[in-house]
Amino acid sequence: MSQLSFKGHTVVITGAGGGLGKAYSLFYASRGANVVVNDFNQAAAQKVVDEIKNAGGRAVVNNASVTDGTAVIKTALDAFGGVTILINNAGILRDKGFKNMTDQEWDQIQQVHLKGSFSCSRAAWPVFCKQRFGRIVNTASAAGIYGNFGQANYSAAKMGLIAFTKTLALEGARHGIKAMVIAPMAASAMTETIMPPEMLANLKPEFVAPFVAAVTHPDGIDASGRLFEVGAGFIAEVRWERSKGIVFKTDATFTPSAVEAKWEHITDFDSEPQHPTSVPDFDPVSILEAGKKVSSNDQGSPVRFDGKTVIVTGSGAGLGRAHAHLFAKLGANVVVNDVSEKAAQTVVKEITGAGGNAVAAVVSAEDGDAIVKIALEAFGGVHILVANAGVVRPNTFGSMSDKEWDEVMAVHLRSAFKCAKAVWPIFQKQKYGRIVTTSSQAGIYGLSGLANYATAKAATISLTRTLAIEGRKYNILANTIVPSAGAMVGLGRPGSNTDAIKEEYIAPLVGFLSSEANEETTGGLFQVAAGWIAQLRWQRTGGHGFPVNKLLTPEAILSKWKALTDFDDGRATNPTTTQEAFMQIAENFGNESEDSGESSGPSSPYADPEDSEIVAEAKKKKEDPLEYSYTERDVILYNLGVGATEQELQWTFEGDEDFAALPTFGVIPQFAASGGISLDWLPNYNPAKLLHGEQYLSIKGPIPTSGTFVNQARLLEVLDKGKAAAVTSITETKDKATGKVIFENQSTVFIRGAGGFGGKRTGKDRGAASAANTPPQRKPDAVLEEQTLPIQAALYRLSGDYNPLHIQPEFAAIGGFDKPILHGLCSFGISGKHVLKAFGPYSDIKVRFAGVVFPGETLVTEMWKEGGKVIFTTKVKERNTVVLTAAAATLLDQGSPKAKL
């Protein structure tokens, strides 16, 4: 087919100063489009615009916040007279384990990803409607589809964008507007913080941009309302799959126990699975009639809630009221939350009048702390949360106000976050908790006139899935229901068959999911109505992988459209985690075309044209990955090895609710891998002449307190210093269970007498890993000192330090020391602990080793806070000798950046 041209089109791309946004900008410009490059970083945006103009294209910069969509779109109208395509690409990360996630970290993500996409789309909408043409591409992620550890905020926002897109597709169809959503996997400023360079090299943004072009061109394929995973040359479509489910008789035998008895049938996808795409997707009246033909429901083990306390938000009426009554009937203490005091107190009176226990919590569902406080004061505990609160603010998308959007997000999504956050530490401490959240059909398929509601309800699904992932080890199970009942389906008006949509027909499922009888099911999504229950899951096509060493084009993608969207060719899969989803993408890394006519690139991701031949060859060698398994005991040993005490239970007692590894534990798993890199290719190499020069550690995710890591070490940089060689290795440490990169270490060693091999003499700027970190000329902002123990070196050895220099006097004497010395990384860990105590968590830390420490000496860490960085120097007090220099840590909490991506 002929090449697709975008001449005459104006494309607005948010977050376009780098990564995917930059790739989109350059691609559209190369095909003739006018481009608006939006980014909060004016210099980065200008650089992209300059690159486009230098190549003969047309582009302008916009630096407005994406939450000010009017200003973003105005730039397109002012510069080019119109807009035809909008790519909502802007994004940020604020990753944090759920227990420690702040309101600010939650709100920032929702503002940039959800409110930003809403604001920009709404601003473009009247233009699109008037010209009867428009294309919108929204950006989800695998975390949004499947949930992901440490990303409750991000996962929720990204899932919300899926239903948001489906709603835009429905409303836009009659105006010639099409909306698509992609879950891309590509190197960017965000992903480089959680992925190793070697992996990023295979995830070029250039593999995503052609797909977006293919689905936004007027002559391209119609993909409106559809979801695609794209990355590394692999493309697949994703849709919902639903089990046939089971129909219950809606009489007194329809109980949580009856649900348990039929659970295998509810979750059976082997028998007649369905693939619904829109509302209505079932007939509640027909289901109810079918249920009447069923004999009384079989019962499983008895389900009771004696001694348990349940919080039900929005329980003054409707579904919440039905849930509250069921729990009370089965022995639970019930906290009836509602903003209406009259409604809440009425339900409480109904329950207590029937002999049950209940109290009212008349506060906003967003005030989770207040609700939990009432539960604790009334009943001494809380065991179950049913997040049911909701409001509806319907309006056509073009007319939807910020207030209508914000109110729905607050009540449905933020309240679920706040209530879950409030119960989380209690659930963790008691090693028990059940959470049931409430989505809707709008959240599954999108729904015209309810863009806000659909978005919030979809976002709730992946919030819950992330809670399921993080909570499993604490016996916290979290699931989501998609109910159809009463006012929720609009059938409660006169003349309707209200028997089919009674709220009481939803409660038995909620009861089972919330009970001790449910020991395994978590992260699930269940549709329920009129006595029918079924499970929903994702289905992904087998897709198509394009050669990674060949330029990918929209034309090539369109030629393979049937293959990448075929759900019926026997290759479809059902990924349930980000790791499973990524595996198929990763399999395409090695897909190379023999007739590409192009080089497949260097064999090492760290190849440098300035390297000498001997270094270039050494960099090509890839060491075998090494596993490192550990338990909480090993975490405690490390913490003790760097000076933690019996008074600091968060570091020395595995039963403490804040138990954690100190951040510098990240140097331990990679010991064997980085130390195993062969250096015998260096001239005159003698391991006895090796000195540890510098260490850089980047902490890329929450640190598990037990598990198995996989370490991959490579040569990063080799410098010829004349009489010596400076060798820097890089080691990525991944969690074997999740595949997520947890640590990156860069270790620099000096080998005396091994220089003279040629090649570069000066290293490249490696950012924080090579920063000079010169202390400012003022008194330190904080000083901490700590006397090491005489047995400190012996303690530290228990974490894997087998160098006799640190324990055997005879060996220390050979090295010229009067007695064994402390491992440099032990001093590194003690100083890192000092930074943590003085300034809080950090994302990376780097030091240069300048002297030795003898066990029993006192370390003094002097610290200066410079913006988001803490520069520090460590000395031995007794000898006034500097032992760590050029040192700094980048703080995690660096203020509250505006949502301007």
* Burial environment of residue 292 by CB neighbours within 10 A (0 to 12, 13 to 18, 19 or more): exposed
Residue 151 amino acid letter: Q
The catalytic position among 24, 28, 154, 505 is 154
Can you tell me the distance from the alpha carbon of 39 to that of 25, in angstroms, rounded to the nearest whole number? 12
Tokens 């010991």 map to which residue? 671
Can you tell me the distance from the alpha carbon of 547 to that of 300, in angstroms, rounded to the nearest whole number? 53
Can you tell me the distance from the alpha carbon of 816 to that of 564, in angstroms, rounded to the nearest whole number? 66
Residue 523 amino acid letter: G
List C-alpha distances in Å: 442 to 160, 243, 488.
11, 19, 10
Residue 495 gets the label, from left (phi > 0), alpha (psi -120 to 50) or beta, of left
453 is catalytic: yes
* Burial environment of residue 428 by CB neighbours within 10 A (0 to 12, 13 to 18, 19 or more): buried
Least Cα distance to 732 among 638, 635, 666 occurs for 666
Tokens 């003349």 map to which residue? 495
Count of alpha carbons within 13 angstroms of residue 60, beta-carbon side: 16
The catalytic position among 22, 96, 115, 158 is 158
- Cα diameter, the chain: 96
CA dihedral (482, 488, 490, 491) in degrees, to 10, reads 70
Least Cα distance to 225 among 172, 174, 160, 147 occurs for 172
Contact 134, 178 (CB under 8 A): yes
* Burial environment of residue 809 by CB neighbours within 10 A (0 to 12, 13 to 18, 19 or more): exposed
Least Cα distance to 604 among 714, 681, 710, 679 occurs for 714
List C-alpha distances in Å: 791 to 643, 783, 875, 881.
11, 24, 19, 21
Structure-token pair, residue 632:
């909480």
Residues 6+ apart with CB under 8 A from 503: 318, 319, 321, 322, 485, 486
Structure-token pair, residue 555:
């034309």
Contact 636, 654 (CB under 8 A): yes
Can you tell me the distance from the alpha carbon of 212 to that of 750, in angstroms, rounded to the nearest whole number? 48
28 is catalytic: no
Can you tell me the distance from the alpha carbon of 300 to that of 714, in angstroms, rounded to the nearest whole number? 56
Contact 166, 225 (CB under 8 A): yes
| Residue 156 CA, distance from chain mean position | 9
Least Cα distance to 316 among 292, 341, 286, 280 occurs for 341
Helical ranges in 733-879 per DSSP H: 792-797, 809-814, 824-839
Structure-token pair, residue 537:
């899951």
Q: In residues, how long is the chain? A: 901
Q: What is the CA radius of gyration of the chain?
A: 30
154 is catalytic: yes
Can you tell me the distance from the alpha carbon of 31 to that of 95, in angstroms, rounded to the nearest whole number? 36
* Three-state secondary structure call for residue 416: helix
Structure-token pair, residue 407:
């109110």
Structure-token pair, residue 728:
């820097």
Least Cα distance to 417 among 458, 471, 455, 367 occurs for 367
Question: Across 332-473, where does the E strand assignment appear?
Answer: 333-337, 357-361, 384-387, 433-438
The catalytic position among 24, 28, 445, 453 is 453
CA angle, 863 as apex, 857 and 869 as ends, to 5°? 135
Can you tell me the distance from the alpha carbon of 275 to that of 245, in angstroms, rounded to the nearest whole number? 13
Annotated catalytic sites, by residue?
A: 154, 158, 453
